[in-house]
Chains A and B, each alone.
Chain A
């Protein structure tokens, strides 16, 4: 081995030799060297890092400090009325939330007829006690600042933070008018929003008095650590019904393929009904047609898939439907790439936000894909 060392062995030898030389100190004065070493920070918590990080500028703070508290700290001045709000709503919000905030197609409904004048009086929505009633946003929310914050922070769903301050006021006003909390021509502003808070139907329906907030709070539910003869009788009250056994796909395929506890085959051996369900759950066939050539990076990176799916309608039409509609149209690429960048409304019954962040080349690539 030492006659003809390979490269790895040679490297090791070099390391050993270097280490040996270092250990010997090569005859240097060790005391002199120690004196030149900068000692490490004695404690990691010592504030030797004061220069790390910098002061935020007022403009930077204004750009990011968007929260609005229940006492309305953070609320920017502005106003908007419910009538304007309805127009914006129909263009920007209705596709997901329904014309009257009553749709549950994508999210829980915002408004349904479960808020009564009595609730506005009492400040606690009575329908919340009724297990048969659907819980809507307007039934739950205790603070009007939350509605303002929500819309300003995260709406529209696929285009968050694109609304102007006045548009947010208008939309909050419209939403409140749908719950009969304000009139349909109400003008909401930073000046009068506190008055609206006094009419929020569930303003008294929220409590922070419970044992799950602070670490040393006392829990309201606990058990005793009984060890023997703890239950008089043991009875099964509920289990997965037979028809739903395969609702989550074949469980056999969700377990490790070896080991002491293999998966139960819920796809087979259960008669025709479940067998069909199993077939339906099989992985889709290899992509064909439009899907196979989809520019996925562009579609994903620009949130297109938040509203459109390839083969089925989501918020917007399926891409296959778009492709079909414009098949054979000579200027399809030009038309579609313009539509993508500028947005539009009316063609499919909803609103398409402008995708101005897309370069012309990227918009054209998507359009070319759709028009193929």
Chain B
């Protein structure tokens, strides 16, 4: 920090956006006549009596004069800069040309200027791209909903794009009637649409020991929130006649190569779990389980089994590959915790966040996300001095259970070093822990369920860095 403290903040000279280019073919092609180059009386005269030789000459002169005026305006744009913003004084090409037709992009695409806001892998995190993770760009997102194309990915044996006409869902085990459904059948059943977050249990897992990654995309980006539509799991279990006396657990299984499986206890399965096909108004994306996935609100993402093909009702946990070898939390005494499921209350400031820069002193809106797997966000406090003092932020609605909640708070930066933190309190009264409180109990090798308070340090140069406090 000290080595950078001498650096000055140089106010950025305002220059026209480098992305504004001249419309292709603007010169050397036929030009449309500039509009309004005839005055009203000339138009009236031409309408009344047609064009005679005199009027023809008049029209020619008027057009030339108007055209010269137009070209002159653009040529002297720089000279006019002193009079104001060139991006205002000179009309940009998009204001002076015909735009694209409707349905040029039938499914729609983000602007080309948003090309930096994409899912990213963390280099070296995994050895193969099929058993890997891509992180959501939280630093570039707004509100509570994650755009479907930016929903984080975690695959265990590569993602598949399943033909929905050939996909089946089977329910077996402790049921009076083992059943099979097609997608058509599932989509005929009563549906619900609810907004929930999905967070990987390993989100922020790289930061247990020390600061390891630079931006919020990598520290917290295994987190997304969508509106999911589908059939309540409780309805399907009732439909198949699950054994109410003996049923204790449900095993969910995917149709991908890894046949990802996860044990879910029956109380939760009957609560708010959705067998989902819809996401943010469209079908699930293949990377998120098309055409069918489970959504288990509030618990680590691995339970929300993608490409869901089977649900088995049983009376004991299944201890399948991913819940007995992976997704177990190592405690300091050498014990592994199994079936650690709940994503406890957590929050993070997303703007500003690591890897960003504050350009000048003055007012900024500080914004972030808060969520709790046990219920609803009650309150978010923000500190600008590393946790000495806290101020309550404003929550943006809707504030929903087991969903991301956006918070905002105003801040005037005085140009001095600052450490920004956020701390959530959820509806159970649970207060998000400090990193040292978490380490005291769980050590540093758990990998999963790191929900500690995040610290972003703002240096005097305006740079924002990921740091951990003692």
Task: Please list the residues of chain A having a beta carbon within 8 angstroms of any beta carbon in chain B.
Answer: 44-45, 47, 49-50, 52-56, 60-61, 64-71, 73, 105-107, 124-126, 128-129, 131, 135, 137, 140-143, 145-146, 149-150, 153-154, 157, 160-161, 202, 205-208, 210-215, 217, 219-231, 234-240, 245, 247-249, 251, 253-258, 260-264, 266, 303, 306, 314
User: Chain B, 128-159, contact with A by CB distance < 8 Å: what is the 0/1 string?
Assistant: 10110000010110000000000000001110
Q: Which of B310, B325, B338 contacts A64 (CB 8 A)?
A: B310
Report the minimum CB–CB distance from B128 to chain A (whole Å): 6
Is B468's CB under 8 angstroms from A236's CB? yes
Name the segment of B24-32, B70-78, B255-263, B277-285 touching the other chain.
B255-263
5 contacts between A and B (CB under 8 A): A52-B181, A129-B334, A142-B338, A263-B355, A266-B214
Is A67's CB under 8 angstroms from B140's CB? no
Is B170's CB under 8 angstroms from A70's CB? no
Query: In the complex, which residues 425-470 of chain B have their Cβ closer than 8 Å to any Cβ of chain A?
Result: 425, 430-434, 437-438, 440-442, 444-445, 449, 453, 457, 463-470
Task: Please list the residues of chain B having a beta carbon within 8 angstroms of any beta carbon in chain A.
Answer: 1, 19, 113-114, 116-117, 120, 122-123, 127-128, 130-131, 137, 139-140, 156-158, 170-172, 177-181, 185, 188-190, 210-215, 217-218, 235, 239-240, 251, 253, 257-259, 261, 265, 267-268, 271, 298, 309-310, 312, 314, 316-321, 324-325, 328-330, 332-342, 344, 351-359, 364-365, 374, 379, 381, 385-390, 419, 423, 425, 430-434, 437-438, 440-442, 444-445, 449, 453, 457, 463-470
Is B335's CB under 8 angstroms from A205's CB? yes
Q: How far is the CA of A238 from the CA of B318 in the complex (A)?
A: 40
CB-CB < 8 A to B298: which residues of A?
Answer: 215
Is B423's CB under 8 angstroms from A238's CB? no
Is A71's CB under 8 angstroms from B441's CB? no
Q: Which of A143, A208, A257 contacts B116 (CB 8 A)?
A: A257
Which residue of chain B is the closest to A248 with respect to CB atoms?
A: B214
Is B468's CB under 8 angstroms from A237's CB? yes
Is A107's CB under 8 angstroms from B127's CB? yes
Q: Which of A142, A214, A236, A263 contacts B457 (CB 8 A)?
A: A236
CB-CB < 8 A to A260: which residues of B?
Answer: 351-352, 358-359, 364-365
Is A227's CB under 8 angstroms from B389's CB? yes
CB-CB < 8 A to A68: which residues of B?
Answer: 320
CB-CB < 8 A to B310: which residues of A?
Answer: 64-65
Is A248's CB under 8 angstroms from B215's CB? yes
Is A240's CB under 8 angstroms from B214's CB? yes
Q: How far is the CA of A255 from the CA of B139 in the complex (A)?
A: 7
Is A53's CB under 8 angstroms from B185's CB? yes
Is B390's CB under 8 angstroms from A226's CB? yes
Q: How far is the CA of A217 from the CA of B428 in the complex (A)?
A: 11
Q: How far is the CA of A215 from the CA of B113 in the complex (A)?
A: 43
Which residue of chain A is the closest to B127 with respect to CB atoms?
A: A106
Q: How far is the CA of A153 from the CA of B257 in the complex (A)?
A: 8
Report the minimum CB–CB distance from A301 to chain B (whole Å): 9
Is A225's CB under 8 angstroms from B381's CB? yes
Is B321's CB under 8 angstroms from A208's CB? no
Q: How far is the CA of A53 from the CA of B468 in the complex (A)?
A: 53
CB-CB < 8 A to A223: which residues of B?
Answer: 423, 431-434, 437, 453
Is B433's CB under 8 angstroms from A56's CB? no
CB-CB < 8 A to A135: which residues of B?
Answer: 330
Q: How far is the CA of A352 from the CA of B376 in the complex (A)?
A: 52
CB-CB < 8 A to B128: which residues of A?
Answer: 106-107, 306, 314
Q: Which of B170, B251, B442 contacts A60 (CB 8 A)?
A: B170
Q: Which of A50, A141, A255 contacts B325 (CB 8 A)?
A: A141
Report the minimum CB–CB distance from A372 to chain B (whole Å): 26
Indicate whether A248 sits within 8 Å of B123 (C-beta atoms), given known contacts A128-B334, A215-B267. yes
Report the minimum CB–CB distance from B444 to chain A (whole Å): 8
Is A206's CB under 8 angstroms from B338's CB? yes
Which residue of chain B is the closest to A153 with respect to CB atoms?
A: B259
